[in-house]
Amino acid sequence: CPPEPVEVERPEPGVVRATVTNDGLDAVLSIASQPLPGWSATIDGQPVDVYPVDAMRLGVTMPGGTHDVEFRYRQPGLVASGLVALLALILVALFVIEPGRLRPPPPSA
């Protein structure tokens, strides 16, 4: 059987959505994107495993029927590095705005 046509939507960078009709047995749906860490997918809102199909494609196993599929990419470590940057900014602000706060009080006479 030839594959069913699929309309793909890319509402924002790192997101691929499609409604897929698969008549019959389970099948593999793949997208042309390098299978890097950070990719996740859902089928009808439920998380599913994403796996490399080849060096330049990643895929999910699609059950029979019509389903909404979403692939989403989040750069690994992005949240952690953002929190570290925010903490560094707060520390710099403390030194710049109130440098006297970190100095010991002058000796009393």
Residue 54 belongs to what H/E stretch?
A: strand 51-54
The answer to whether residue 54 is domain-embedded is yes
* Tens-digit pLDDT profile for residues 35-72: 888 999 999 999 999 999 998 999 999 998 889 999 99
φ, ψ of residue 15 in degrees (nearest 5):
-130, 130
Domain count for the chain: 1
pLDDT value at position 61? 93
pLDDT value at position 21? 87
Do the beta carbons of residue 22 and residue 45 sit within 8 Å?
Answer: no
The answer to whether residue 89 is domain-embedded is no
pLDDT value at position 55? 87
Nearest partner of 31 among 51, 59, 50, judged by Cα:
59
* Tens-digit pLDDT profile for residues 64-104: 888 999 999 988 777 778 888 888 888 887 777 766 665 66
Instruction: Spell out the SS3 assignment of 17-29.
Output: EEEEEECCCCEEE
pLDDT value at position 83? 84
Helices (H), the chain: 78-97
The answer to whether residue 85 is domain-embedded is no
57 lies in which domain range? 7-73
